[in-house]
Amino acid sequence: MGLAASRPKAKRAAGIKHVETPDRIILEKLQRDDKISLSDLARMTGLASSSVHYRIRRLEEEGVIKGYRAIVDPVKLGYDILAVSFI
């Protein structure tokens, strides 16, 4: 029995799931551009748009994708003063 055979297998932390390659591509692209179209994601992953839509919904339901956010420019809303407060 060699060293490789006697090494313990790495354990995953509770709640961590294996993410397949198409899902990784989808996640990477959504993190860069949350408004990317399903057709663009389908082209990048080699999947049908319906499959990409299903995968995104599943990732949302599993809590992998927690949400989407808009980053607002306060100056464009008329706020010209920014205050930072430490408590």
* Residue 36 confidence (pLDDT): 97
Domains located in the chain, CATH noted: 19-87 (1.10.10.10)
Burial of 52 (0-12, 13-18, 19+ CB in 10 A): buried
Tens of pLDDT along the chain (87 residues) come to: 455 555 555 555 556 677 889 999 999 999 999 999 999 999 999 999 999 999 999 999 999 999 998 888 988 999 887 778 898
* Residue 18 confidence (pLDDT): 79
pTM: 0.67
Q: How far apart are CA 78 and CA 55, in angstroms?
A: 39
Show the DSSP H helices in 1-87 as ranges: 3-6, 21-32, 38-45, 49-61
